[in-house]
Amino acid sequence: MGKRAKSDYLIQSVSNACDIMECFSIEEDELGITELARRLGLHKNNVQRLLATLEYRGYVEQSKISGNYRLGLKVFELSQVYTKQLHLLKQARPILEKVNEQCNETTYVGDMRGGFAVYLMSEETTQSVRVVSRVGTRFYPHSIALGKAILAHMPQEELEALYPEEDLPVFTPNTISTRTRLFEHLEEVRKRGYALDMEEQEEGVRCVGVPIFNYTLRVIGGLSISGPIIRFTPDRLESVLIPAALEAGQELSQRLGYEIGKKISSFVGELI
pLDDT at 34: 95
Q: Specify the DSSP element, H or E, that contains 34.
A: helix 33-40
Q: What gap in Å lies between CA 63 and CA 71, rounded to an integer?
A: 10
State the architecture of 11-71 in CATH terms: Orthogonal Bundle (1.10)
Burial class (CB in 10 A: 0-12, 13-18, 19+), 219: buried
Number of Cα atoms under 13 Å in the Cβ half of residue 188: 8
Taking Cα atoms as reference points, which of 41, 47, 45 lies closest to residue 17?
A: 47
- In the chain, helix, strand, coil percent, each to 5? 50, 20, 30
Which one of 3.30.450.40, 3.30.70.100, 3.40.50.300, 3.50.50.60 gives the CATH number of domain 79-262?
3.30.450.40
Q: What is the pTM of this model?
A: 0.67
The confidence score (pLDDT) of residue 272 equals 41
Residue 138's pLDDT is what?
87
The per-residue pLDDT for 7 is: 62
> How confident is the model at residue 28, as a pLDDT?
86
110 and 146 in contact (C-beta within 8 Å)? yes
Intervals of CATH 1.10.10.10 along the chain: 11-71
CB 246 within 8 A of CB 210: yes
- For the chain, 272 residues long, give each residue's pLDDT as a single digit of tens: 455 566 677 889 999 999 999 999 877 889 999 999 999 999 999 999 999 999 999 999 999 899 999 998 888 777 766 656 557 778 888 899 999 989 999 899 999 988 999 988 888 787 776 676 678 788 999 999 999 999 999 999 999 999 999 999 999 999 999 999 999 999 999 999 999 999 999 999 999 999 999 888 889 999 999 999 999 999 999 999 999 999 999 998 988 887 766 676 665 554 44
Nearest alpha-carbon partner for 197 in 179, 166, 222: 222
- Give the C-alpha separation, 54 to 136, whole Å: 33
Where in the chain do CATH 3.30.450.40 domains reside? 79-262
